[in-house]
Amino acid sequence: MRIKKDLHFHTNMSDGSNSPYDMFMTYFKKNYNVLSVTDHGCIDAIPIMSQLCAQHNIKFINGIEISTDDYPNMHILGYSFDETSPALLDLIKTIKHNRRVFLKKAMKILSLHKIDAEHFWALEKDESIEFLYENNVPSDFLYNCEKPSAMQAIEVINESGGVAVLAHPSKLGFSIYTLRNILKKLKTYGLKGLECYHPSQQGKEDKYVRLSREFDLIVTGGSDSHSIDLHNYTEHYQIEIIF
């Protein structure tokens, strides 16, 4: 039997458009067998998603996506962690606090520049910065929101008994040579996996799978869907390792 998996998607508990229930039902109707919700900097969708998966005999893996300050678009995915871990809960609390501080400052800037901010509150951190940049907000404001380092994110995930994975490496925009050097460094922090399958890497998956083999990293993948209009990417690719 063909196993359909998505190990990277979002709900309205972070920057997604739909509730955990609506996201689950969309996957259920498409006959998915394995799911992991990976909201940005929060785990609020996990209880209901876990319960729904258990009720419908779908394998569930808890997840989270953490934006880091090492490079733009460097995100660390965490899987199979202890949801009660003090280190993880403290990091999430800090991320949420920094996010609120950033948004309050941003709203003042938007008001000052008379910029329509109707959807601003729903945007994830990197998208918020892009929105402000496109609307000519002063550049000295754009990157003053504190984020954890990749080292901190990876170490907290490991301390919580989880598996740390580098998300969508192609979105970093680096050459394979530079990416190799980055993976070497992240491995010293405790990185365990690489997201080789992602819509931004369509047609280039083999390149990232080879990298994962080179560095002895787990192969993961997902659609990175943010709404019930699912990207059908994961329907056509077999993510080979589940933990």
> What tens digit of pLDDT does each residue of 175-199 get?
999 999 999 999 999 999 999 999 9
Q: What is the pLDDT of residue 104?
A: 76
Q: Which two tokens stand for residue 211?
A: 């990298």
Distance, in Å, from the CA atom of 156 to the CA atom of 190, rounded to the nearest integer, reads: 10
Residue that is written with structure tokens 């990749």 in the block: 150
Domain ranges of the chain: 5-82+162-235
For residue 116, the one-letter residue type is D
* Beta strands 193-197; 163-166: pairing state: parallel
Residue that is written with structure tokens 């900097």 in the block: 41
Task: Please say if the pLDDT value at position 123 is more than 60.
Answer: no
Distance, in Å, from the CA atom of 126 to the CA atom of 109, rounded to the nearest integer, reads: 17
CATH 3.20.20.140 given to domain 5-82+162-235? yes
